[in-house]
């Protein structure tokens, strides 16, 4: 709520750009600091896309003047050249109308947020006239660059910023000292099955239980070039696998297989675009990768077609160390696979039956896919818990809980801890002698800055965040997915992966040393984190109870389809306008105090958990009708 003083901020993005979360996050931050924020309407946003025309530029200028904007932010994350021309035309129009403060006009700051290359070109063209945001800025950095003085920043944001800044300062110290470059890689070879066909994730974890042992390390690798043949790309990856194995820094190699590998394995691909990733297309190629990767454990993406059959092939060819499924995702719903949602859920539940037979671990790639599509923090937790309980009911004995931090990237560190602890605590209630939980944190997909020095610092900082999830337990996390620091810049080579692992392990050890000495805050005693986690757990449990009381056999393909279609797992930013899932999309989420909450679209007030349950329950009859239609088209596998 604005205080009525200070400059008015205006935010505009072309209507063609669907990226909205960033601009909403900035608006919320400015609002929490007491500023009035004006969003461009459809007319001005549409005109910005066509600002090469004088009449369209005039519409944008008229909106700026009429709204009494003194600080203008432009966001555009699509084509680089379009962004450069757009800003150039607008700057000249502002100068012609003498609207800049140095001309005696009201506009004293102009911002642009976009792709790194566009930001650099705009900075070079306009100097200090345009302040650019390349991505990855902390809330504190964002407000500082937008001209917000420290005394306008609310206390809770300052507190979280202190924690986030302290971790970044730690990361800077670690990188600048260069001590991480000599950090040794742990020797895992102290058990009989090491590196053999009998080796498993659980054996390697159990052999790694010595006090103060370092977590197992997983990393993703997947070179691809459109300039060489498919076979040459696979051969290059085999060379990478050998190099990574010889480096000794990875426990688990995740093969970044191509979209066609996942959707059309074993078929003639013809001229279909590969879409990036390793274009594996035969069982023999997987066998060669497995042999080249000794003594690492190996895994790869699940298929998006013939999913149970591909899971069996992954077992036979590479002794896959764990299987991963995304349940509601990688299908027609998100454009990543050929199946409709119900068929996809049928295939995934059948695949879970097979995974249970193998006694291999299962990883649910679920919560972050909801977060990518605007889901609130409670939905993130509920979706992860539902996936875990389904796995347990299917007979899975080892469940890998992947938690993607910094998603969305403007999430405050304190909120990330609360969200992760809430999910962890709920899933731990399922643990028993036949169901083991393994925590696997990782950095967010769009967390890193393109500047490689700053990205190295961020990698150390997010490692500290991982260690603060359970700071009293030095065996936690037992497994870390290391995202390479080059994520926002270019493909990670084996050398970059190795350096990223060194940074992560060194950061973990150094941060724990500082905690033992009392030189960093004990986040295990942070009252704010505990209060937020307790609230998230209370709301998540209420939604799970409502699902279990409203839907017979909720932990099934039919149950998961019904609860999603009714709107129990809101996804406001779900791509496309499919009528089938309108109840899942018919929500509004908003960044509030470092997290994502569902709000009333008219008042912007936070929805109570009771309100959201009532809304979803009111759509159950419609969801059941849609399920009957899908079942008629595609009967349950047990009926075939």
Summarize pLDDT for 408-438 with one digit per residue, the tens: 888 999 999 999 999 999 999 999 999 999 9
Q: Where are the beta strands (DSSP E) in 252-397?
A: 252-255, 297-300, 323-325, 362-364
Structural domain boundaries in the chain = 8-157, 316-400+410-436+533-639
DSSP secondary structure of 4-17: S-SPPEEEE--TT-
Residue closest to 237 by CA, chosen among 263, 265, 256, 251: 256
Pick the CATH number of 8-157 from 3.30.465.10, 3.10.450.50, 3.40.50.280, 3.40.718.10: 3.40.50.280
pLDDT at 115: 84
User: What is the predicted pLDDT for the residue at 637?
Assistant: 58
Mean pLDDT of each 10-residue bin along the chain, 640 residues long: 77 72 80 92 89 93 96 87 91 96 95 90 91 85 92 84 93 97 94 96 94 93 85 95 96 94 90 84 97 98 96 98 97 91 98 98 98 96 99 99 94 96 99 98 92 96 98 95 93 96 98 96 93 98 99 98 99 83 96 93 94 98 97 70
What is the rounded distance in angstroms from the CA atom of residue 66 to the CA atom of residue 49? 20
State the Cα–Cα distance between residues 62 and 58, nearest whole angstrom: 6
DSSP 60: H
CB 250 within 8 A of CB 270: no
pLDDT score, position 639? 52
All residues at 6 or more sequence positions from 248 whose CB lies less than 8 Å from its CB, including other chains: 185, 187
Strand partners of residue 399: 362, 437
Cis before residue 595, ω within 30 degrees of 0? Answer: no
Give CA angle at 526 (457, 611), nearest 5°: 100
Looking at the DSSP bridge assignments, the partners of residue 114 are 76
Between CA 466 and CA 167 the distance in angstroms is 11
CA angle 161, 167, 172 (to 5 degrees): 120
Closest CA to 40 of 20, 592, 601: 20
Question: 477 preceded by cis ω (within 30°)?
Answer: yes
């Amino acid at each position: 709520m604005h205080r009525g003083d200070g400059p008015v901020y205006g935010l505009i993005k072309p209507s063609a750009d669907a990226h909205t979360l960033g601009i909403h996050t900035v608006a919320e931050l400015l609002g929490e600091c007491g500023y009035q924020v004006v969003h461009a309407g459809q007319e001005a946003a549409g005109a910005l896309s066509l600002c090469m025309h004088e009449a369209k530029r005039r519409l944008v200028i008229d909106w700026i003047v009429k709204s009494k904007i003194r600080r203008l932010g432009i966001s555009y994350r699509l084509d680089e050249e379009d962004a450069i021309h757009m800003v150039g035309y607008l700057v000249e129009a502002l100068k012609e109308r003498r609207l800049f403060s140095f001309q005696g006009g009201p506009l004293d700051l102009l911002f642009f947020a976009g792709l790194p290359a566009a930001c650099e070109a705009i900075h070079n063209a306009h100097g200090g006239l345009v302040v650019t945001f390349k991505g990855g800025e902390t809330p504190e950095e964002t407000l500082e660059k937008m001209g917000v003085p420290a005394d306008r920043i609310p206390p809770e944001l300052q507190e979280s910023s202190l924690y986030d800044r302290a971790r970044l300062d730690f990361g800077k110290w670690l990188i600048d000292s260069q001590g991480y470059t000599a950090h040794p890689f742990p020797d895992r070879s102290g058990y009989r099955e090491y590196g053999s066909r009998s080796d498993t994730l659980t054996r390697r974890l159990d052999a790694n239980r010595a006090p103060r042992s370092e977590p197992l390390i997983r990393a993703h690798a997947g070179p691809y070039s459109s300039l060489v043949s498919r076979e040459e790309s696979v051969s290059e990856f085999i060379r990478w696998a050998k190099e990574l194995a010889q480096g000794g820094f990875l426990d688990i190699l995740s093969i970044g297989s191509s979209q066609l590998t996942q959707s059309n394995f074993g078929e003639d691909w013809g001229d279909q675009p590969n879409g990036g990733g390793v274009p594996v297309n035969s069982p023999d190629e997987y066998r060669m990768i497995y042999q080249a990767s000794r003594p690492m454990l190996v895994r790869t993406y699940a298929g998006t077609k013939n999913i149970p059959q591909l899971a069996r092939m992954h077992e036979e060819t590479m002794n896959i160390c764990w299987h991963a499924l995304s349940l509601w995702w990688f299908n027609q719903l998100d454009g990543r696979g050929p199946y409709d949602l119900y068929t996809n859920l049928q295939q995934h539940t059948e695949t879970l039956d097979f995974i249970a037979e193998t006694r291999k671990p299962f990883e649910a790639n679920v919560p972050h896919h909801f977060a990518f599509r605007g889901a609130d923090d409670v939905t993130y937790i509920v979706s992860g818990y539902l996936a875990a309980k389904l796995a347990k009911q299917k007979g899975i004995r080892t469940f890998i809980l992947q938690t993607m931090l910094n998603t969305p990237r403007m999430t405050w560190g304190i909120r990330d801890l609360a969200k992760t602890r809430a999910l962890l605590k709920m899933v731990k209630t399922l643990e028993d002698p036949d169901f083991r939980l393994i925590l696997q944190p990782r950095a967010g997909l769009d967390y890193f800055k393109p500047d490689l020095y700053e990205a190295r610092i961020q990698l150390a900082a997010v490692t500290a965040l991982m260690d603060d999830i359970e700071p009293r337990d030095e065996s936690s996390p037992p497994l870390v997915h290391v995202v390479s620091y080059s994520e926002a810049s270019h493909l990670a080579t084996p050398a970059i992966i190795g350096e990223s692992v060194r940074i992560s392990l060194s950061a973990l050890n150094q941060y724990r040393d500082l905690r033992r000495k009392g030189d960093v805050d004990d986040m295990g005693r942070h009252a704010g984190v505990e209060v937020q986690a307790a609230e998230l757990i209370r709301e998540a449990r209420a939604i799970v109870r409502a699902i279990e009381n409203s839907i017979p056999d909720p932990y099934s393909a039919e149950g998961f389809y019904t609860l999603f279609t009714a709107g129990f797992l809101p996804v406001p930013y779900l791509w496309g306008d499919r009528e089938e899932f309108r109840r899942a999309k018919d929500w509004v989420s908003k960044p509030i105090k470092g997290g994502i909450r569902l709000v009333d679209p008219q008042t912007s007030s936070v929805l109570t958990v009771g309100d959201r349950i009532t809304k979803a329950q009111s759509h159950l009859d419609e969801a059941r009708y849609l399920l009957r239609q899908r079942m008629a088209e595609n009967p349950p596998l047990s009926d075939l």
